[in-house]
Structure 1
Amino acid sequence: MKILVIQQKMIGDVLTSSILFEALRQKFPDAQLDYLVNTHTYPVVENNPFIDNFIFFTKEEETNKKALFKLAKSTKNRQYDTVIDVYSKFSSNLICLYSGAKTKVSKYKWYTSFIYSETFKEEKAAKTNAGLAIENRLQLLEPILNEVPQILLPKIYLTPKEIEDSKQFLINHNVDLNAPLFMISVLGSADNKTYPLPYMAKLIDAIVENTKAQILFNYIPKQEAQAKALFNLCQNTTQKRIFFNAFGKNLRDFLAITKHCNALIGNEGGAVNMAKALNIPTFTVFSPWIQKDAWNMFEDGKTHVSIHLKDVKTELYKGKTSKDLKKSAFMLYDTFIPGIIIPKMKDFLKNL
């Protein structure tokens, strides 16, 4: 049996969908299991023992229809028995259409359902603390396994060398690995997913004041100027605890460095999901317009904790659609003051 899973979009999505391979491998130990992902997301699934082969969706396929059709045709040549399309967008619809697979599974959309042999409607409310992102993905396997598999936690697989090299990297940057060390997800993937920098500075000040911890910043290289602006907004005593230059050059470096941290704290996004997959405690600040139920995976109120403006100011959400909330993101952020977050964050820090 040959099975292809297609998951385009962001790093967190690719990591989350990797649970499908563990479930499939349990049921079909001898199957060929392949993963089609965007090139930049590969580091979070590198070394995954349940995945046999990777197929990459590159920038060329994103911008060139001829290249996209070539990829779709090459998928047909691989003769898959089953294709699972997690996200269901035009490019993955096309690949499924060309695949020739007998079984094609995806979420239900009225205008693409004719492509697939099996579709399902996404649930709107989570039934477990795994969250909707996990639960809805596992539904994709029901037509193949004839059951919904047990809940699985996404995992990242680092090599012993990566862990040891990152340890030495931190030591070389004068980080004391015997003292508390926190990774801060300082910026979201977009401005409307980023807790305002003056507010974030106050959170970091509170962390240092209460724990005397050492602080690392997580951001992507093009966000360096914003990260530096945040550093400058922190108190002088806090700045002395921030190791700004102890920064991973690539995603695998970030993962290996995070493995040595006591917790990851900050904006909801891929970094939080990666920390959870490394079994690192997390405290997450959700953007006011993002649906918390979808991505507060495995929240238990102790090891993994999150806070959303809706948790404390429900009146702001009455009668508002998701589109309304997205348009009002910055206004909502203004009301999400540090004083709302810090008490809950302090409780999280006490439990570490």
Structure 2
Amino acid sequence: MKILIIQQKMIGDVLTSSILFEALRLKYPKAQLDYLINEHTFPVVENNPNIDNFVLFTKQDELSKSNLLKFARSVGNKKYDIVVDTYSKLSSNLISLFSGAKTKISYHKYYTTLFYHYNIKREKHNDGKAGLAIVNRMQLLAPLGIETSFIKPKIYLTEKEIFNSKEFLESYQIDFSKPLYMISVLGSGKNKTYPFNYMAEVIDTLVKETSGQILFNYIPKQETEARAILDLCKPETQKNIHFNIFGKSLRAFLAITSHCDALIGNEGGAINMAKALNIKTFAIYSPWIDKATWNLFENDNNVSVHLKDFKPELYTKAEKKYKKETAELYKKFEPQLFRDKLKAFLKL
């Protein structure tokens, strides 16, 4: 039996959907389990023992209709028996259609019966700790007789990666007898990035409470923005920030993060990756993002804050409806609102 899971786009999505492979492996131990993902997201699922092959979707495939069609046909040539499309957008609809699989599963939309045999309606409310992103993905396996279970996403680092990253940190005089924190200083876009002056206040509080060593999560092209946040921190805080230590690749970032006591900052892929490494997290949500979907496995070690937690009266409609008002809502999301919660988290 050959099964294909489709999850294009973002790193956090690809990591979260990887839970399906653990459940499928238990149900079909001898099946070939393949994962179709965007090529830039591969590092987050590299070495996953439950995935047999990766089918990589390139930028060229994404930007060209003729390339997309050729790609869809190449997937069809692989003769999959089952396709589970967790992305459910036009490109993945086409790929699923061309797959020729006898069983095709995706989420319910008004048109999806044209492409899939099973169309699963997403849950909109969740009282559990797993988060709707986990609940809804696991529901996609129900047509295969796999009961909903709450599997945590996992990242698989090699011993060599862990060893080399520790040596790298030590070469920069990181002292492992003191707390070490990774800060997600920048979100995936402006409307997912906590205001720079507010983020600086958060970092000031962190250093004041713990005297911890601080690393910034950024890539070279984001250096100007990251340095702007550094400059807004108090002089005594700046002494604890090791600005020039950063991962030059996604795998390097993961390995460095594995040595940290916690990852704190903007909710997004970095938070999800830290959770998958069993590193404590404190996530600051953008005002327009639905916390119920992405607060995966929230507990004392994984804490999140959202403007709606403190000022629910500002919300009279679904969070995503406020996307255009993000900048104004962020101004209301002052660090003092969750300072006590952050201090309590740091004492754990």
Normalising by structure 1, report the TM-score: 0.97
**Number of residue pairs matched?**
348
* 2:159 match: 160
C-alpha distance in structure 2 between counterparts of 1:283 and 1:323, whole Å: 22
Partner of 1:344: 341
Contact 1:80 1:101 in 2 (8 A): yes
Please tell me the residue identity of whatever aligns with 2:186. L
Gaps of 5+ in 2: none
- Measured in 2, the distance between the counterparts of 1:170 and 1:304 equals 25
Q: Which blocks of at least 5 consecutive residues in structure 1 are unaligned?
A: none
Structure-2 residue corresponding to 1:327: 324
- Runs of 4+ aligned residues of structure 1 deviating over 3 Å after TM superposition are 321-324
Between stretches 152-161 and 323-332, larger displacement belongs to 323-332
| Alignment of 1:30 onto 2:30 | yes
Cα RMSD (Å) of the superposition?
A: 0.9
More divergent stretch after superposition (124-133 vs 204-213):
124-133
1:54 corresponds to which residue?
A: 54
Distance 2:319 2:343 in 1: 30
Could you say which residue in structure 1 is the equivalent of 2:199? 200
Q: Which amino acid aligns with 1:264?
A: L
> Where in structure 2 are the equivalents of 1:288-303 lying within 5 Å?
288-300=287-299, 302-303=300-301
- How far did residue 328 of structure 1 move? 1.0
Asked whether the 8 Å contact 1:6–1:92 carries over to 2, the reply is yes
CA shift digits 1:215-265 (9 cap, x unpaired):
000023322110010000001111110001111100000000000000000
Amino acid at match of 1:306: S
Q: Give 1:310's aligned residue.
A: 308
Q: Is the 8 A contact 1:23 1:149 kept in 2?
A: no
Query: Partner of 2:183 in structure 1?
Result: 184
2:191 aligned counterpart, secondary structure? helix
Once the 2 structures are TM-superposed, how far is the Cα of residue 321 of structure 1 from its aligned partner? 4.0
- Counterpart of 2:92 in structure 1 is 92
- 1:215 is aligned to 214
Q: Could you list the per-position Cα deviations for residues 117-150 of structure 1 after superposition, in whole angstroms to 9, with x for gaps in the alignment?
A: 0011100011310000000000000001x14232
SS at match of 1:328: helix
User: Partner amino acid for 2:305?
Assistant: I
Give me the whole-angstrom Cα distance separating, in 1, the residues matched to 2:320 and 2:105.
28
Deviation track 1:37-87 (CA, whole Å, cap 9, x = no partner) reads: 000000000000000000000011011111111111111111100000001
- For the Cα contact (< 8 Å) 1:10–1:41, is it kept in 2? yes
Note the C-alpha offset of 1:112. Answer: 2.6
Q: 2: distance between equivalents of 1:291 and 1:226?
A: 26
Q: Does 1:262 align with 2:261?
A: yes
Query: Which whole-Å CA distance do the structure 2 matches of 1:109 and 1:85 have between them?
Result: 13
The Cα of 1:189 is off from its aligned counterpart by: 0.4
Q: Which residue of 1 aligns with 2:232?
A: 233
Which residue in 2 is equivalent to 1:66?
A: 66
1:274-297 Cα shifts (integer Å, max 9, x gaps)? 000000000010011100000000
CA distance in 1, matches of 2:198, 2:65: 44
